[in-house]
Structure 1
Amino acid sequence: MSKIAGTLACMAPDVVDQARRLVCDRFPDALGAVLAGSTAAGRATASSDLDIAVLIGDGGETCRETIRFEGRVAELFVHTRAGLVGLFAADVAARRAVLQNMYATGLVLVDTNGEASRARALAEADLREGPPPLEPETVETKRYGLTDALDDLADAGDHIERLSVAGFVLNAAADLLCDYQRAWIGGGKWLPRRLLEADAERGAALLEAHLHLCRSGEPGPMIDAASGILDLVGGPLREGYRRTWHGAIGSVAATTGR
């Protein structure tokens, strides 16, 4: 049994058929189309979205659109060949590789003249290469922000404020750990998934510590877990930090966590 056939066998056929009908209805001349997300992974529920990447001809428009098709919400990632190259480059620069993962792991619905297969090969090449490392100055600024937030976490007496700071610490520490491991980052539900892929041991410790803080209000384990990640990238940074702005000036709050 082929890989695609095996994937189809473990999925609800109506979901796949629905995705194909959508592509045929909205993009009859599509060069390629890929169904990704929970539906492609065989975890679709009645409320799951259809996440579909659609490759169209060069005269079309690259866009993202959310629609409802036959009662189900669908997220459409539509792009020309040139648009796909640009989106791949943007995803690499952002260290997220969202579209690359869609093409690399999704179920091919349309593959005119091998167009979707070529897009998948490009996606897989990006994923093998991994994200670019953060610039040293950026790592320094992130170290400073996380150090400051950990100080706030240790001092916070208000439970609501502690939870808010803990959310910042989780994201900042995850970002630094993924960069240290040259791994892709993610947001929302993809943050823990990418974090565990990057470093199963340290990632799990950080996530468990965050859960413990949310349940008990005790910040100690999270401070320890995040401090361990800080040590990997140079340790805490307070005095001695200096940043000179050139051109557009970013928000001070983005660097301090206050």
Structure 2
Amino acid sequence: MRSDADAPSHPVNQARRLAAECFPDALSVVLAGSAASGRVTTTSDLDVAVLIEDGGETRRETLRFEGRLVELFLHTRAGLAELFAADAASRRGVMQRMYAEGLVLCERDGAATRIKQHAEDALREGPGALASATVESRRYVLTDALDDLADAADVVERLAVANVVLGTAADLLFDHRRAWTGSGKWLPRRLLEADPEHGGALLDGYRRLCENGEPEDFADAAMGILTLVGGPLREGYARTWRAAAEPAAR
């Protein structure tokens, strides 16, 4: 009996055909994202990293193949090094994860295998620490947002402030644990990886606030994270204005 994985419509098999038909000369093709991790659904797209010869163009491209949406990440070796550096600077490690956790569909001379090892090493090392001034700024923003959350009577305002609390508390926790960040659906996943206790409490509190309008557990969880990184910051905080300074909470 043939399993679902053997079916022509299975996303991994679709990705293999994509690699063979569209990138026969590629140095390597790697399938990443939900299709590679087993979380794929009927509407999931294919995230595909393609290493091409030097002289090609590093770019991102969206197309449809056999009815399924495909996000292509095409890059030369030099382009990939630049992408790795940019993702390390943003603390997200997107391309590093694509290679470290992805499925190698094809490669020449072990190209993908070498990159995969480099990406795994980078992920284990983690991102660099935030500058102390940045941590102070985010402590101040979170302190201010928690004050606003306690005062917010309007439901929409409360949810808007809660988003600031969630994002800022997550940033501080990621930095405290020297963990890679995430956005969108990857934010809760990365939070639970970085710190199941504090990250889990923050997410559970956020869910209760969204479902029932009750902010107490969410505020307590955010305050717990704030305490980890030095506590609330109000009076006495000052910073010199710079063009590249982080935006204020409001």
Q: The TM-score by the shorter chain falls in which range?
A: over 0.9
Alignment of 1:213-232 (within 5 A): 213-232=209-228
Q: State the match for 1:5 in structure 2.
A: none
Q: Does 1:181 align with 2:198?
A: no
CA RMSD of aligned residues (A): 1.4
Q: Do the aligned residues in 2 keep the contact of 1:10 with 1:42 (CA within 8 Å)? A: no
Q: State the match for 2:239 in structure 1.
A: 243
Q: State the match for 2:155 in structure 1.
A: 159
Q: State the match for 2:164 in structure 1.
A: 168
Q: State the match for 1:255 in structure 2.
A: 248
Q: Does 1:75 align with 2:41?
A: no
1:125-155 deviation digits (Å, cap 9, x = unpaired): 1011111110000000011111111011000
Q: Number of residue pairs matched? A: 246
Deviates more, 1:12-21 or 1:57-66: 12-21
Residue identity in the other structure for 2:209: L
Residue identity in the other structure for 1:134: L
Q: Does 1:64 align with 2:60?
A: yes
Q: State the match for 1:35 in structure 2.
A: 31
User: Structure 1 residues 10 and 37, CA, compared in 2 at 3 Å: closer, same or farther?
Assistant: farther
Deviation at 1:40, TM superposition (A): 0.7
Indicate the SS of the match to 2:124: helix
Q: % of aligned pairs identical?
A: 63
Alignment of 1:192-211 (within 5 A): 192-211=188-207
Query: Counterparts of 1:155 and 1:97 in 2: how far apart (Å)?
Result: 37
Query: Counterparts of 1:214 and 1:197 in 2: how far apart (Å)?
Result: 22
The alignment's TM-score, normalised by the length of structure 2, stands at 0.94
Residue identity in the other structure for 1:162: R
Runs of 4+ in 1 over 6 A off after TM superposition: none
Q: State the match for 1:122 in structure 2.
A: 118
Indicate the SS of the match to 2:179: coil
Q: Do the aligned residues in 2 keep the contact of 1:142 with 1:255 (CA within 8 Å)? A: no
Alignment of 1:42-61 (within 5 A): 42-61=38-57
User: Structure 1 residues 215 and 60, CA, compared in 2 at 3 Å: closer, same or farther?
Assistant: same
User: Structure 1 residues 11 and 202, CA, compared in 2 at 3 Å: closer, same or farther?
Assistant: farther
Residue identity in the other structure for 1:219: P
Residue identity in the other structure for 1:45: T
Residue identity in the other structure for 2:137: T
Deviates more, 1:10-19 or 1:104-113: 10-19
Q: Do the aligned residues in 2 keep the contact of 1:51 with 1:74 (CA within 8 Å)? A: yes
User: Structure 1 residues 12 and 211, CA, compared in 2 at 3 Å: closer, same or farther?
Assistant: farther
Query: Counterparts of 2:28 and 2:91 in 1: how far apart (Å)?
Result: 25
Q: State the match for 2:87 in structure 1.
A: 91
The alignment's TM-score, normalised by the length of structure 1, stands at 0.92
Residue identity in the other structure for 2:181: I
Query: Counterparts of 1:182 and 1:107 in 2: how far apart (Å)?
Result: 26
Q: Mind listing any 5+ residue stretches in structure 2 that lack a counterpart?
A: none
Q: Mind listing any 5+ residue stretches in structure 1 that lack a counterpart?
A: 1-8
Query: Counterparts of 1:105 and 1:215 in 2: how far apart (Å)?
Result: 34
Deviation at 1:192, TM superposition (A): 0.6
Deviation at 1:250, TM superposition (A): 4.3
